[in-house]
Amino acid sequence: MSVRCGIGYDLHRLEAGRKLIVGGIELPFDKGPVGHSDGDVLAHALCDALFGAAGLGDIGTHFPDTDPQWKGANSLIFLEQARKLLAGKNLTIVHVDAVVITEKPKLGPHFPKMREALGRALGVPAEKIHLKAKTNEGVDAIGRGEAIAAHVVATLSAP
């Protein structure tokens, strides 16, 4: 058995009047990400981590933001597609570890729901998905509440 790790990163600007969706869950907040799809940073970074570990390029390769079919798309769809591509290469998700960085709102209370939603999309138990929240201590665009970002490391196994 061999083990592969992949890293993913994503950032979206936050603007007033948009829905804030993180990890497939809509959070009550007055701002949300600007993006072609629903702008779910955690789902996007997770997708890239999976593609990286699988040697399958990145999210833009598979779901270009110029493609109208992904406009406003629920990003969990991207994870469901990634799941199929991994299965096609006989790869299994061992573990996912993520950090989501935003000044507000508090994400921790929503983590159980996010882990369930991400696990469902990927076909793995929620226990395999570990989430952490950070602020940027008021520093830079994230600290000023102008953006949200996520870093994800995914570990896969191959037979």
Residue 29 has which token pair? 């907040």
Torsion of CA 105, 109, 114, 120, to 10 degrees: -170
31 contacts Zn ion (rule: CB under 5 A):
no
Shortest approach of Zn ion to residue 63 CB, angstroms?
10
Residue 24 has which token pair? 């497939």
Phi, psi of 157, deg, nearest 5: -120, 145
Residue 110 has which token pair? 């929503």
Contact criterion met (CB below 8 Å) for 86 and 156: yes
Judged by CB under 5 A, which of 22, 23, 38, 44 binds Zn ion? 44
18 contacts Zn ion (rule: CB under 5 A):
no
151 contacts Zn ion (rule: CB under 5 A):
no
Residue 62 or residue 157: which is nearer to Zn ion going by CB? 62
10 contacts Zn ion (rule: CB under 5 A):
yes
Length of the chain: 159
Stretch that binds Zn ion, among 41-49, 62-70, 113-121, 128-136 (CB under 5 A): 41-49
Which residues form the interface with Zn ion (CB under 5 A)? 10, 44
